[in-house]
Chains A and B, each alone.
Chain A
Amino acid sequence: MRHVITLLVENEFGVLTRIAGLFSGRGFNIESLCVAETLDPTVSTMTIVTRGDDQILEQVLKQLNKLISVIKVVDLIEKDFVEREMVLVKVTATSETREEILRVVDIFRGKVVDVGAKTYTIEVTGDEKKINALLSLLKPLGVKELVRTGRVAMIRGSKITTEPGS
C-alpha cells in the first residue's frame, strides 16, 4: 500500500542518513523524499512517499519514532490531506506541436518558464494524478527531460502536523 509519511526532525547533519537507513535496511524503496526547514529553523519536515507491506511499515514507523533526532512521525494516509508536487518538463517544440503543447499547459494551469529554439520548459504543480495525466499527454509530443520535486503534503482543515509533541 502507498504511504505518505510526514516527519518532523532536528535540523542537523546526519539525520537524513539515519532515516534513509531504516528504509534501505529493510529493502524499502523511497519513492519520493522532500526535506526543508519549517517555521522553526531548528526543525525540518520530511515528506516520504513509500509503498510496502503494512505490517513492515508499522515497524518502520515505530523505528522512525525511536530515532533520537526524530521529533514526530505521522502517516498521512490515515488522514485527510492535500498533496502537491511540482515538475519541470522540457518538451520538444516544433511548428506542428507548439500550439498543442500550449493548450495542454493551459488546461493544466501550468506555465512555460523557458523558451528555447526547439524546446519549451514547462512548470506544473499538482497531485500525483494530475502530474501523471499531464505527462501522458506531453509524452507523445516529445519529452526530453523531466525533474520532479517530490511530494509535499499537509493535513486539511485547522489541524497542524508541525506541532511537536502533540
Chain B
Amino acid sequence: MKKTGSQIIVESLKKEGVETIFNYPGGAVLPLFDELQSAPFKQVLVRHEQAAVHAADGYSRATGRVGVVIVTSGPGATNTVTGIATAFMDSVPMVIITGQVPTLLIGNDAFQEADIIGITRPCTKHNYLVKDVKDLARTIKEAFYVARSGRPGPVLIDLPKDVQAESAEFKYPEKVSIRGYQPTYEGHVGQIQRAVKLVMKSKKPVLYVGGGIISSNASKELTLFAEKLGIPVTMTLMGLGSIPGNNPLSLGMLGMHGTYWANMAVMESDLLIAIGSRFDDRVTGKIEAFAPQAKIIHIDIDPTSISKNVRVDLPIVGDCKHVLSKILSFLEEEDVGTFRAGLEKWHHQIDKFRAVHSMNYEQREIIKPQYVIEKIFELTKGDAIISTEVGQNQMWTAQYFPFLRPRTLLTSGGLGTMGYGFPAAMGAQVAFPNKLVIDISGDGSFQMNSQELATVVQYRLPVKVAILNNGYLGMVRQWQEFFYGKRYASVSLEGISPDFVKLAEAYGAVGLRATKPEDVVPTLKKAFSTPEPVIIDFEIDPEENVYPMVPAGEPLNQMRLV
C-alpha cells in the first residue's frame, strides 16, 4: 500500500518498537507533525532542541534503548548539535530526525536551511539525507541498526519537507545489509586464550573498565570474572556501576580525580585488563608514565580505540559481554584457587593504599557538597538514577556516590557538557516514571537548560534537582586557584544567580533551600517525598575543592591529596 513519507516514518518507528519521542516542531516538519499528532507514541515537547537530544540521551542511557528526537530544519537542527556531540563522545545510541527545506531549494540559502549533514558529519556515527521517499523505510531501518549495533552512537536523518509529503509503496525491510559495516562481536578465540594465560600468570592484575561494559550490558559477566579470580576493579567515569561501588573488589574511579588507591594500584600493576575503556587523557595522566610495569590487555568493540594512545600487548576486538563470557568459560580449566592465593600480597599492598586518607572532608557550620551526596546515597540506599552536570558537582558525585548498578549514572564524560544533567534526568524519568531520578547539579550548569522546568512541570515528571550552589563556576575556579595564582576570571556567580527557589515556583515546581548541615537530611527527605519536580538549593562551601587531583599531564601517582 502507498503511504506518504510522514506515514512511513510513523510506521517505521512503530516497527522499531519506539515508544517515546522528544520533539520540537517547525515549518520544515509540519507534514510529519501532522501525522505524529495521532501516532501512538509518548511525545515530549521540550523547550529547547538541545534538551530534546539530552533527554533522549538520558532515556537511552537509563534503558539501553535507542533515543529518538524529531526537530525542524535550520535553527532546530543546529540546536541539536551539542546534544549529538555529547552522545557521540559517550557512544549513546540515538536517532535524530531533522526537517530540511524542500529538495529543490537545498543549497539555495533557503529560509531556515542549514547543511546539518555537513555540520554533524564529524559528530554522528553516520548520517543520511533522504532525497527520495522510496529510500525512506530502508534508511530508517539502517539508522536504527547502525545506532544500536557495534560501538553505539547517534545517527541523523535529514528529511526534506517534500519527501515527507510524497508517497511510496511501504514495505519495512526485514534485514539490514551494509557491506561496509560488519561489527565484530565475537573476539578472536586464540587471542582470548592467550589473554587468559596472561591473566593467570599475573601477580598484580587490575581490571580497568569503562562505558563499554555498560553499553554491552556486561556487568554481570565482569563481576563474575573479577570475583572468581579476586581481581580488583577500577572504573572510569563512564564505567561507574559496572561493578557495585560497595563491592570489596571495587577501587572506585581512577584518573585525574580518581581515588588514591585506584591510581596507585594501576601504577603498581603488572597486568592491566582494559575492557570497554579507551585510555582517555583524563584517565591516564602523563601517558608515558602510565602503568609502567604493566602488560596491557585491551578488549573493545571498536578497533580504532585499540593502540590509539598506549601500546597494547594483547588486543581483542569484540563485544565486552561476548568476550567476557568466553573468558569465563576458559577459566573452567584453570587452577583458580592457586591464582587467588597468589594475589594475597597484592591485596595486602592495595589495603595499604586504601589506608591513605585521600577522600575526606571536614564538616563545619557550612554545608559540604560531599556530605550532601553521601546523604543522597544513604537516603536512597543507592536505588536512584543519578544524573550530573559538569564540574565539581560531577566529580564529587563520582567519588562519593558508590553506584550499585549499571545505567544508574547519567553523565557527560567525553564532551563534558554543562546543561546535560537536567534534561537527561527528565528523559530517564519519562522512561521510569516511578523511579527516583536526581540531577546533582551546579549553579552554573543548571542555568544552561533551566528552561526545561516548564517541561517537567507540564508532563508531571518528578525529577529532583540538587543544586550544589557554591556561587562559582567551581571547577574553573579550582583550576584558576591552583594554576593561575588565584586570579579568578569570569567565574563568580555570587549574588547574580536567580533565586532558585523562586525560579522553581515561577514554573510551578517546588523549591527548597538548605543553608546549614543539619538542614540537609530533612530537606532531602522532604524533596524525595514530594510527588512534584523539586529544585533544592544547597548553599555549600564556596571554595571547596575536588581532591585528590592529578594535575593535567602529570603521572597518576603525582596526586594532590588536600
Binding site for B on A (CB under 8 A): 9-10, 13-14, 17-18, 21, 25, 58-59, 62-63, 65-72, 164-165
Tell me, in angstroms, the Cα distance from A77 to B179 when the chains sit together: 24
Q: Is the CB of A65 within 8 A of B179?
A: no
Q: Is the CB of B304 within 8 A of A68?
A: no
In the complex, chain B residues 131-185 whose Cβ is within 8 Å of any chain A Cβ = 146, 178-181
Contact partner of A66 (CB less than 8 A), chosen from B118, B121, B303, is B303
13 residue pairs of the A-B complex, CB under 8 angstroms, read A10-B179, A10-B180, A14-B117, A21-B121, A25-B122, A58-B307, A62-B303, A62-B304, A66-B302, A67-B180, A68-B125, A68-B178, A71-B180
Binding site for A on B (CB under 8 A): 117-118, 121-122, 125-126, 129, 146, 178-181, 302-304, 307-308
Q: Is the CB of B179 within 8 A of A164?
A: yes
Closest chain-A Cβ to B94's Cβ sits at a distance in Å of 16
Residues in B with CB closer than 8 Å to A58 are 307
Closest chain-B Cβ to A134's Cβ sits at a distance in Å of 38
Residues in B with CB closer than 8 Å to A25 are 122
Contact partner of B121 (CB less than 8 A), chosen from A9, A18, A63, A72, is A18
Closest chain-A Cβ to B171's Cβ sits at a distance in Å of 21
Closest chain-B Cβ to A11's Cβ sits at a distance in Å of 12
Q: A18-B121, A21-B121 are in contact. Are A65 and B303 (CB under 8 A)?
A: yes
Tell me, in angstroms, the Cα distance from A14 to B115 when the chains sit together: 12
Q: Is the CB of B180 within 8 A of A9?
A: yes
A-B pairs with CB below 8 Å: how many?
38
Tell me, in angstroms, the Cα distance from A77 to B281 when the chains sit together: 32
Residues in A with CB closer than 8 Å to B181 are 68
Tell me, in angstroms, the Cα distance from A93 to B372 when the chains sit together: 86
Q: Is the CB of B122 within 8 A of A21?
A: yes
Tell me, in angstroms, the Cα distance from A14 to B122 when the chains sit together: 12
Tell me, in angstroms, the Cα distance from A63 to B304 when the chains sit together: 6
Chain B residue, CB-CB nearest to A8: B180
Q: Is the CB of A17 within 8 A of B121?
A: yes
Residues in B with CB closer than 8 Å to A69 are 126, 180
Contact partner of A59 (CB less than 8 A), chosen from B126, B146, B308, is B308
Residues in A with CB closer than 8 Å to B129 are 13-14
Closest chain-B Cβ to A14's Cβ sits at a distance in Å of 7
Chain A residue, CB-CB nearest to B122: A21
Residues in B with CB closer than 8 Å to A18 are 121
Residues in B with CB closer than 8 Å to A165 are 179
Residues in A with CB closer than 8 Å to B178 are 68
Known contacts A14-B121, A17-B118, A17-B121; 8 further A-B pairs (Cβ under 8 A): A21-B122, A58-B307, A59-B308, A66-B302, A66-B304, A68-B180, A70-B180, A71-B179
Tell me, in angstroms, the Cα distance from A137 to B409 when the chains sit together: 68
Tell me, in angstroms, the Cα distance from A63 to B121 when the chains sit together: 14
Tell me, in angstroms, the Cα distance from A9 to B307 when the chains sit together: 25
Tell me, in angstroms, the Cα distance from A120 to B118 when the chains sit together: 43
Closest chain-B Cβ to A38's Cβ sits at a distance in Å of 13
Residues in B with CB closer than 8 Å to A63 are 304
Closest 5 CB pairs of A and B: A62-B304, A71-B180, A68-B126, A68-B181, A70-B180
Closest chain-B Cβ to A113's Cβ sits at a distance in Å of 36
Residues in B with CB closer than 8 Å to A66 are 302-304
Most chain A beta-carbon neighbours within 10 Å: one of B125, B126, B304: B304
Chain A residue, CB-CB nearest to B178: A68
Tell me, in angstroms, the Cα distance from A21 to B178 when the chains sit together: 21
Tell me, in angstroms, the Cα distance from A17 to B115 when the chains sit together: 13
Residues in A with CB closer than 8 Å to B307 are 58
Residues in A with CB closer than 8 Å to B117 are 14
Tell me, in angstroms, the Cα distance from A23 to B36 when the chains sit together: 41
Chain A residue, CB-CB nearest to B179: A71
Residues in B with CB closer than 8 Å to A14 are 117, 121, 129
Tell me, in angstroms, the Cα distance from A33 to B487 when the chains sit together: 51
Tell me, in angstroms, the Cα distance from A113 to B178 when the chains sit together: 44
Chain B residue, CB-CB nearest to A13: B129
Closest chain-B Cβ to A20's Cβ sits at a distance in Å of 10
Tell me, in angstroms, the Cα distance from A70 to B146 when the chains sit together: 14
Tell me, in angstroms, the Cα distance from A112 to B117 when the chains sit together: 45
Tell me, in angstroms, the Cα distance from A71 to B179 when the chains sit together: 6
Tell me, in angstroms, the Cα distance from A70 to B304 when the chains sit together: 15
Q: Is the CB of A68 within 8 A of B146?
A: yes
Chain B residue, CB-CB nearest to A22: B122
Tell me, in angstroms, the Cα distance from A71 to B146 when the chains sit together: 15
Chain A residue, CB-CB nearest to B155: A68
Chain A residue, CB-CB nearest to B304: A62
Tell me, in angstroms, the Cα distance from A9 to B180 when the chains sit together: 8
Closest chain-B Cβ to A16's Cβ sits at a distance in Å of 11
Most chain B beta-carbon neighbours within 10 Å: one of A59, A67, A68: A68
Residues in A with CB closer than 8 Å to B125 are 68
